[in-house]
Amino acid sequence: MMLRGAIAALLAAVAGVVALPASAQDADSPEIRFCPNRPSLGATGCTTLPGQVQLEVSGIDWQRDDDGETREDLVQFAQVTARIGATRHSEFQFTWTPIAALRTRDIATGQVDHITGSGDVTLGWQRSISHPDGKKLSAAIQPYVTLPTGRSGIGAGDWAAGAVLPVYWEIDQHWSLDFTGQAAAAVDEDGSGRHFDATGVVGVGYALTEKVTATAEFSVERDLDPAGHVVRTLAAASVAWRTTDRTQLDVLAVAGLNHDAPDARVSIGGAVLF
């Protein structure tokens, strides 16, 4: 049942990304800014123009974390981020996962537990520091807050807040470099209270064609949870295909590089600009 549901969610997301913007492309406004965060681990310094809305949808996002005692498989369906242009240099952001399924297996006993429910809601505001169109050297600041709206076991259990600083350098028509720094008051492992958490992501992008871009990234996270301070390192590879000036399909694959990081993650989805 889960597999059929995942396939249905993915097909619906892909169909929406490809089909919905056809009429939008006939709009009178010639100026657009379409620069999705997807499928990167980091973020973009580009902001959406006023009167335009960018939707970024993960049709299916699967992650596995095996610590030797338990094996967790988390599958999120139709996670959506709405980026709403406020001014020529700023935008509002809204992120929510309507449904997620967590499967936990005790390796010693074989016992399996299932939890299904919605995720937390994240509200953010992004202000461009330079080049809000995402060209040349683009940077922004993005404070955010996460509200504990998700089901227990799916959501974090308490509110969290932080700030993201994306920096993107368009070297030439093929190569780009990016860095995303994030500092957060993250929720403690027991679901009550907060602690400091910092993440840095470095990426290199290469435009294979005018419409297809491949990106390689490396991420380091320092998590100072009272239950135990850990460092998580990840490597990621992604491909994004601009099907039109306002639509994108993409895929992301992530591998954990140390014991404390999740073992693997795959995300398939896309984005559309209205």
Number of domains in the chain: 1
**Is the predicted pLDDT of residue 184 greater than 90, yes or no?**
yes
Instruction: Indicate the helix (H) or strand (E) that contains 15.
Output: helix 2-19
The pLDDT confidence band at residue 221, using thresholds 50, 70 and 90, is very high
Closest alpha carbon to 110 in 63, 75, 66, 69: 69
The pLDDT confidence band at residue 9, using thresholds 50, 70 and 90, is very low
Distance CA 254, CA 270 (A): 17
**Is the predicted pLDDT of residue 2 greater than 90, yes or no?**
no
Closest alpha carbon to 143 in 168, 126, 120, 122: 126
The pLDDT confidence band at residue 192, using thresholds 50, 70 and 90, is confident
* pLDDT score recorded for residue 3: 36
* pLDDT score recorded for residue 148: 95
**Is the predicted pLDDT of residue 240 greater than 50, yes or no?**
yes
Q: Calculate what percentage of the chain has a pLDDT beyond 90.
A: 82
* pLDDT score recorded for residue 30: 56
How many CB atoms are located within 10 Å of the residue 68 CB?
8
Domain span at residue 88 reads: 2-273
pTM of the model: 0.85
Distance CA 118, CA 152 (A): 9
> Which tokens go with 96?
């929510």
**Is the predicted pLDDT of residue 181 greater than 70, yes or no?**
yes
**Is the predicted pLDDT of residue 190 greater than 50, yes or no?**
yes
The pLDDT confidence band at residue 68, using thresholds 50, 70 and 90, is confident
Rounded mean pLDDT, 72-96? 97
**Is the predicted pLDDT of residue 26 greater than 50, yes or no?**
no
Q: Do residues 273 and 54 make contact, with C-beta atoms less than 8 angstroms apart?
A: yes
**Is the predicted pLDDT of residue 55 greater than 70, yes or no?**
yes
How do residues 123-163 score in pLDDT, each as one tens digit?
999 999 999 998 899 999 999 999 999 998 899 999 999 99
* pLDDT score recorded for residue 108: 87
Mean per-residue pLDDT over the chain, rounded: 90
> Which tokens go with 84?
């709403």
Rounded mean pLDDT, 182-203? 96
Residue 197 maps to which CATH number? 2.40.160.40
Q: Do residues 44 and 168 make contact, with C-beta atoms less than 8 angstroms apart?
A: yes
Q: Do residues 165 and 158 make contact, with C-beta atoms less than 8 angstroms apart?
A: no
